[in-house]
């Protein structure tokens, strides 16, 4: 998102930022965004053109596959809808990053045949329209939600299937919000919040030339910090191997999410990881008010 109400009033955006200018201010600070709103409705061509026009060349949108594709029964019969969604999002041009989708918890290893047919159809559609070297060739990342996919044999099978089609496995880390320490000291930060993230094991499978990490942070830094630190050597290694890393920080209340992303970027930089500077660090700070003495 880029319109979270907690980011206005000088917290993330400068004082006086209008809602209509939020995307432009966001793109002055961070380099990618998840398009979660596309799960509920596909944007018009005019909206996508405006998004592209409000962001710099290096910025990347990661649209989420619509729920009509991923949450409406079998996946393979929805390939036509997935293709139409891809064609619409292609309006973003070079600003389109990976599309990502959720494989819902009811879609487990017992339905692997459907997933395989979907991936084969997706790969065929992409191959027919885009050359391998085409910079606009779309990327796809999928997040498994069924606990059975995380059993060793099923997990290996899923990763191998995704790898065969060049699809990234979304790496979801919800440990900070489910840790015993977090609950004992601070309660459940997700209590009463919509769209609760599931408590699942963390996969570290790199199945494509890029990876897609969704880190669900606890608002308390002393809870989140150790888990965030565990990602540093792993991400640095992937970067050094030439993989592109899309790293997204979330919180049950996303007010602190930009700061967590910035903290992670600064820690990577301090380690000497091959990561580009964050544009946020080049944004001039607002002048501080002089105090009368």
Residues of the chain with pLDDT > 70: what percent? 91
Task: Residue 126: give its domain's CATH number.
Answer: 3.20.20.410
**What CA–CA distances, in Å, run from 12 to 66, 137, 173, 281?**
29, 33, 24, 12
The set of residues, in sequence order, having a beta carbon less than 8 Å from that of 203 and lying 6+ positions away, is 150, 155, 159, 169, 171, 172
- CA dihedral 267→273→275→281, nearest 10 degrees, is 30
Given a contact cutoff of 8 angstroms between Cβ atoms, the answer to whether 159 and 205 are in contact is: yes
H/E stretch holding 281 reads: none
pLDDT at 185 over 80: no
pLDDT at 255 over 70: yes
Tens digit of each residue's pLDDT (9 = 90 or more) over 120-153 = 999 999 988 888 888 889 999 999 999 999 999 9
Domain that holds residue 158: 28-276
In a domain? residue 218: yes
> Do 126 and 14 have their domain in common?
no
Tens digit of each residue's pLDDT (9 = 90 or more) over 28-51 = 999 999 999 999 999 999 999 999
Total number of domains in the chain: 2
> Do 20 and 53 have their domain in common?
no
**Average pLDDT estimate for 92-109:** 96
**Average pLDDT estimate for 232-253:** 96
> Do 92 and 198 have their domain in common?
yes
> Do 40 and 18 have their domain in common?
no
pLDDT at 241 over 80: yes
> Do 235 and 164 have their domain in common?
yes
**Average pLDDT estimate for 243-257:** 94
């Amino acid at each position: 998102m880029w319109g979270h109400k907690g980011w206005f009033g000088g917290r993330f955006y400068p004082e006086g930022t209008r809602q209509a200018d939020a995307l432009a201010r966001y793109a002055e600070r961070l380099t990618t965004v998840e398009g979660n709103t596309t799960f509920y409705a596909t944007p018009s061509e005019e909206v996508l053109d405006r998004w592209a026009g409000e962001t710099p060349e290096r910025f990347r949108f990661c649209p989420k596959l619509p729920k009509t594709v991923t949450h409406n029964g079998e996946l393979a019969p929805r390939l036509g809808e997935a293709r139409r969604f891809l064609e619409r999002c292609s309006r973003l041009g070079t600003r389109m990053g990976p599309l990502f989708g959720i494989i819902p918890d009811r879609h487990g290893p017992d339905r692997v045949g459907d997933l395989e047919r979907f991936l084969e159809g997706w790969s065929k559609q992409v191959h027919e329209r885009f050359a391998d070297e085409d910079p606009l060739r779309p990327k796809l990342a999928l997040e498994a939600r069924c606990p059975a996919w995380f059993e060793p044999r099923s997990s290996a099978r899923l990763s191998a299937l995704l790898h065969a089609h060049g699809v990234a496995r979304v790496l979801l880390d919800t440990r900070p919000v489910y840790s015993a320490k977090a609950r004992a000291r601070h309660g459940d930060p997700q209590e009463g919040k919509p769209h609760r993230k599931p408590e699942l094991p963390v996969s570290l499978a790199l199945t494509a030339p890029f990876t897609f990490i969704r880190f669900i942070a606890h608002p308390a830094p002393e809870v989140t910090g150790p888990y965030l630190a565990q990602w540093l050597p792993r991400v640095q290694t992937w970067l050094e191997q030439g993989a592109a890393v899309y790293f997204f920080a979330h919180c049950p209340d996303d007010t602190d999410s930009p700061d967590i992303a910035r903290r992670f970027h600064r820690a990577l930089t301090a380690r000497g990881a091959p990561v580009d500077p964050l544009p946020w660090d080049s944004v001039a700070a607002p002048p501080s008010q002089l105090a009368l003495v």
